[in-house]
Amino acid sequence: MTEIRPINWTGTRLELLDQTLLPHQRSTISITDYRHAAAAITEMRVRGAPAIGVTAAYAMALAAAELQSRERDHFIGALRQAGAHIAAARPTAVNLGWAVRRMLRVAESEPDPGSILPRLETEARLIQAEDEAINRRIGEHGRALMPPDGQGVLTHCNTGALATSAFGTALGVIRAGWEAGGRFRVFNTETRPWLQGARLTSWEFQQLGIPATLVADSAAGMLMRRGDVSCVIAGADRIAANGDTANKIGTYALAVLAHENGIPCYIAAPTSTVDLALAHGDAIAIEERPEHEVTGYGGADIAPAGTAAYNPAFDVTPHRYITGIVTETMVCRPPYTESLRQAVDAA
């Protein structure tokens, strides 16, 4: 199997696998302007918290190529402005601002303006390579949490290679479990309204040769109550210091249903998704996306013209519903205020 790598850097161009067209069309967009990279994030041509972090890092390298100047302060000022533009592309995932800040720190630490561009390019490549290595470690830590053969795990949204630089987080844990010989059943939700689950996760499981059953989001409770699902695992866009977790809309409902049915609910995410500056999840900014993503799909209307819709892209799951948070350094257990700090310090 060839690894899925949605983000490729040619040295001068950023190439993104366009996730708005999958699974029916495998098409790559080629980007040389940082503003177009930011637009690709907003339009969800590239999506998933770690993947938008990696894209933002390369966008900063593109900005440096365009804005370079011999006057260092002017150059740094222009890079800061470009960074603010890139970081504003989507509000919820902490990885976006994290990557921009990391790139700016590198630029600010370089005294020679002529060396800023190569340093930023190297740093972006490093962020991408680190992400894959981190995901593989998340898989190693998490695979023991997968259910015994024949029992089911349910996952939500898309947290695979497409959402990262490669391998994935929650989907990576499922993959690591299968690669270690586990033969548990896999269910994935459609993930309305954008259908990351139906379009992207089902495709990734097919590429990996892991049999997976697609279910409507609303079928999850019934499956849990009937005993078909004995574990839930999802990703995260931002994890507050107390373990409250923002993730794709619907995660909260799955976690409450898991709790009601006595089923463990895990979150898998790199420590770069942990935001220790936020005490709890109520302070997490939740992206609201256009109404037409709910009232229609693929250019066709579902609801009658004029229907009002509300489209929050994420929700926050209070930490009491989360059994464990799998990071690249450790599996965090409650109390998360202690274990998450330990995980971040160990990274």
- Which is closer to ligand MRU, CB of 113 or CB of 270? 270
- Which is closer to ligand MRU, CB of 50 or CB of 152? 50
Q: In what order do the strands lie in the sheet with 245-248?
A: 274-275, 238-240, 245-248, 314-317
Among 7, 17, 49, 267, binds ligand MRU (CB under 6 A): 49
Q: In the bound complex, which residue of the shown chain has the CB atom lying closest to ligand MRU? A: 235
Candidates 345, 332, 340; CA nearest to 141 is 332
Among 128, 155, 169, 271, binds ligand MRU (CB under 6 A): 169
Residues serving a catalytic function are 237
| Tokens coding 220 | 């999850």
Instruction: For residue 17, give the amino acid letter.
Output: L
313 binds ligand MRU (CB under 6 A): yes
163 binds ligand MRU (CB under 6 A): yes
Q: Is 25 exposed, middle or buried (0-12, 13-18, 19+ CB in 10 A)?
A: exposed
| Tokens coding 159 | 């947290």
- Which is closer to ligand MRU, CB of 91 or CB of 147? 91
Q: Which residues contact 144 (CB under 8 A, 6 or more apart)?
A: none
**Residue holding tokens 């005993």?**
227
- Which is closer to ligand MRU, CB of 117 or CB of 268? 268
| x-or-dash string of contact with ligand MRU, 220-259, rule CB under 6 A | --------------xxxx---------xx-----------
47 binds ligand MRU (CB under 6 A): yes
DSSP 12: S
Among 55, 189, 196, 295, binds ligand MRU (CB under 6 A): 196
Element (H, E) at 34: helix 34-42
14 alpha carbon, distance to own chain's centre: 19
Cβ 169 to ligand MRU shortest distance, Å: 4
Residues that bind ligand MRU (CB under 6 A): 47-50, 93, 157, 159, 163-164, 169, 196, 234-237, 247-248, 313
